[in-house]
Amino acid sequence: MKKIAFILLIGMAFSACNQREKKSSNSLDENQMAKDALTAELDSIQKNGQINGFAVAMVNQEGMLYQHGFGLANTETKEAYTENTIQHIASVSKTLIGIALMKAREMGKLNLDDPIQDYIPFQVTNPNYPNEKITIRHLATHTSGINDTEQYMERAWVLTKDQDLTNVRTDYPEQQLNPAELDIPMEEYLKGYLETNGAYYQNDNYINFQPGERYNYSNIGATLCALIIEKATGQPFDSFTKEHILQPLAMNATGWSLADVDITKHARLYQNDNSVLPFYTAITYPDGMLITSSSDMAKYLTELIKGYAGEGTLLKKESYQELFTEQLTEKNFDERNTSNPYNGDYSPAIFIGHSALGYTGHSGGDAGVATWMYFDKEKKTGRYIVINTDMGNDERAKELEYYAVWDKMNEYFEKLSVAKPVHNSSH
């Protein structure tokens, strides 16, 4: 009887194991079907529209839910745009300034309410309010009063050296792409822009509001914060972020310059008329020139979601709490957009923002580039999209294609799960 009972128990165990494996297999099949359906729908949007190439990633706290590339990274060579294609990601790069700032604070190198003048060797004072101190927090929340003017739009970007400029357009209308020989060190440019007797100074480089009084998005202010991190830590910003962000997250395809990455995987960038743009960088590179893949950004976005939930690895729990704390109130704004779910300007935190409708993240746009990176604070799910074609002023195209991609991804979160390996040896 004991032998029969033992055989029955073994049979029941194998039956239960087989049922678990069958259930797991069905779940995997459903997950793959959802991925295939999403791929087909996003592929259709790309083929019927004006975007040359893009990639997307969807994640939750546990990791990757979905990633894929669509269209072409290079229309001449017909190279496909994949999740491993790299390009710079515009202002989404600023979120790394936030992480780096909080890391420097953890290391005891600075505090958010320190006056910026404690760290920089040139004078930065709003001439409208010469007795008011600008703090690091003001820079991090875009309330410093530092303003982006045509001196920024016409001077900050430069072409990279030793590239073939045949059949490319350097006359981008919104931001001037300057010859490579006009490149200068970041600190030299900031000094010339921010000192009242500087080479790039003009009267509207500062707005007529006291520091901390009015939200005014500033690329120059963000770059100045990166310089302060350099001065406080004694380490170049690109090196500091590599050590404390990129390497810990195994973002191995990512860097701040073409010298840091595999240029053979770099997408070409296109104007909305499909003309090819040259490779370029920026004197103010921390404000928008991180070069990366959607696969690497999925790792980064997963970490941000974990950090928001108190389980991040790059920073301590209290540092992440400060990073995501909403810093401003209604009085800091002239007006606010309450209807856009992905508008991080609605309620800034530390170089990242909260929309009015429950999303946290950042977006970006440069010549030939558009990016979005946001996560749902309640559901702990995040989306990232990077595009190598700008639509210029074609708002209809943006609405029909950019947001069509974004909204289509949102429909699939509940159908996707993080793939887990099936272990057949656990009987």
| 285 neighbors 90 (Cβ within 8 angstroms) | no
Q: Which residue has the tokens 């990073």?
A: 323
pLDDT in tens, 352-375: 999 999 999 999 999 999 999 999
The per-residue pLDDT for 426 is: 40
Which H or E run includes 22? helix 2-47
Full-model pTM: 0.91
Distances (CA, A) of 381 to 24, 159, 339: 22, 37, 20
Lowest mean pLDDT among 84-93, 128-137, 165-174, 349-358: 165-174
Q: What is the mean pLDDT of the chain?
A: 91
Per residue in 203-232, pLDDT tens? 999 999 999 999 999 999 999 999 999 999
Q: What percent of the chain has pLDDT over 70?
A: 89
Q: Which residues of 329-340 are buried (b: 16+ CB within 10 A; e: fewer)?
A: eeebbeeeeeee
SS3 per-residue string spanning 45-113:
HHHCCCCCEEEEEEEECCEEEEEEEEEEEECCCCEECCCCCEEECHHHHHHHHHHHHHHHHHCCCCCCC
pLDDT at 425: 40
Cβ-count burial 118-146 (b if 16+ within 10 Å, e if not): ebbeeebbbeebeeebbbbbbbbbbbbbb
Q: Which domains are assigned to the chain?
A: 36-415 (3.40.710.10)
pLDDT in tens, 70-93: 999 999 999 999 999 999 999 999
Q: Which of 94, 134, 105, 57 is nearest to 348 (CA)?
A: 94
pLDDT tens digits, residue range 183-194?
A: 999 999 999 999
pLDDT over threshold 70, residue 395: no
Residue 22: per-residue pLDDT: 54
Closest CA to 255 of 291, 297, 230: 291
Cα–Cα distance measured from residue 317 to residue 310, given in angstroms and rounded to the nearest whole number: 5
Contact 145, 206 (CB under 8 A): yes
